[in-house]
Structure 1
Amino acid sequence: MSEKGDKFTFKVTVIGDGAVGKTSLIKKFTKGNFQEEYIQTIGAQFSKYMEEINKDRCKLFFWDIAGQDTFHFLRPAFYKASVAAIIVYSLEENDLGKESFKHVTKWYNEITKFCGDIPIVLFGNKVDLVDEKELTDEKISKLIEKKDFLGYYKTSAKTGQGVHEAFQAIIKELYSKYKTISS
């Protein structure tokens, strides 16, 4: 599990419809870069990220799960041992944005079915492509009330807006939870 010197190792699953920016968000957070062209994730891929908190070394594996329906049969195996999840949808005012928002509940139900009561954060991605003044938080507020999300963040993998803060919410929650357990 943990390599020598690692105090904590966490698996965080990142889910949502295809083309909402899951891979781009992970790359922005872990490597600081953004790739313009869309490359579909096949099955799953993972990225490693290290962080030191209070002199404890934390290793995180972000599992980027393909959102296309053709990969639905693989997802339960990829969810195994996840201690947290990030659900991503697109804030765009097009079909992708509308459909991906409608599917947030499906993703929430699926991850909780296979992983139980784990911390889940919701990312509304591609905020750089919409007029924030026109974004209504009414629908999202109702959804957050209905489901037990740890938090909700408007993010942009392209500009970096909200990305660090959103990922840090998960990291701090996991550290706090598992630090208490290991003490």
Structure 2
Amino acid sequence: MVVSVNKSLQCSVVGDGFVGKSCLVERFLGGEFNSEYVATLQDDYIAKCNVNGDSLEMNITDFAGEHDDLVSIEVPDVFVVCFSLVDKDSLESVLNFWVPRIRSEEKQTPIVLVGTQLDKRRTQRKGHISTEEGLSLAQSICASAYVECSAKDNTGVDVALYSILLASNKYNRRKASLFKRVLGR
């Protein structure tokens, strides 16, 4: 499959604290896993990617887990909403806090739902969130994609990144098609 991408992409990563957002972003940037928790208010990163021979600049904004002012942020091309696969409260926050907050301002911006800490789910016998529960949530919030990953093991991180690129590309093609229809061109 050939995927053409814009030359730049703005991506906002949100979710509860301690779910592994910053570790995931570090892996997107090609960094190593850091097991120490470092509180984030808002960190901005730029990553250079090559996709199908095209060069892409990815602007990633990593928000604090309790970010109250999503309204003031620049509208991204994609929201990446994260929850921990071993924390049911973080899953409930996606449905009851993060998605309503995003959709109250940005009705059409695609959401890629990412279940993090897959490595912990493999070792924790009880209380984890199943793939079926994650897929069900993704469907209920009309997410563009659902991915499970582990920044620690670097499992599924490339799939998450590719899903973000595909969601952005699909959304931008839809917008361009709409503009052409409206303008009659």
Q: CA deviation at 1:177?
A: 4.3
- Given that residues 82 and 115 in structure 1 are in contact (C-alpha distance below 8 angstroms), is that contact kept between their aligned partners in structure 2? no
Change in 2 beyond 3 A, CA 1:76/1:125: same
Partner AA of 1:115 in structure 2: E
- Partner in structure 2 of residue 4 of structure 1: none
Q: Secondary structure at the match of 1:62?
A: strand
Contact 2:115 2:134 (8 Å CA) reproduced: no
Question: Does residue 116 in structure 1 map to residue 115 in structure 2?
Answer: no
**Length, aligned pairs only:** 169
Match for residue 167 of structure 2?
173
Residue in 2 that maps onto 1:76: 71
Identity score, percent: 26
- CA RMSD between the two structures: 2.5
Task: Report the counterpart of residue 148 of structure 1 in structure 2.
Answer: 142
AA aligned to 1:131 is R
Query: Within 1, Cα distance between the matches of 2:144 and 2:150?
Result: 19
Contact 2:109 2:171 in 1 (8 A): no
- TM-score, scaled to structure 1: 0.81
2:154 to 133, 136, 160: 160
Paired with 2:119 and 2:77, the residues of 1 have a C-alpha distance of: 30
Gaps of 5+ in 1: 1-6
Letter matched to residue 52 of structure 1: N
Instruction: Confirm or deny that 1:128 pairs with 2:119.
Output: yes
Q: Which runs of 5+ in 2 are unaligned?
A: 1-5, 181-185
**TM-score between both structures, scaled by the size of structure 2:** 0.80
The 1:179/1:51 distance shift into structure 2, 3 A limit, reads farther
Aligned-partner Cα distance in 2 for 1:169–1:138: 18
CA distance in 2, matches of 1:88, 1:117: 18
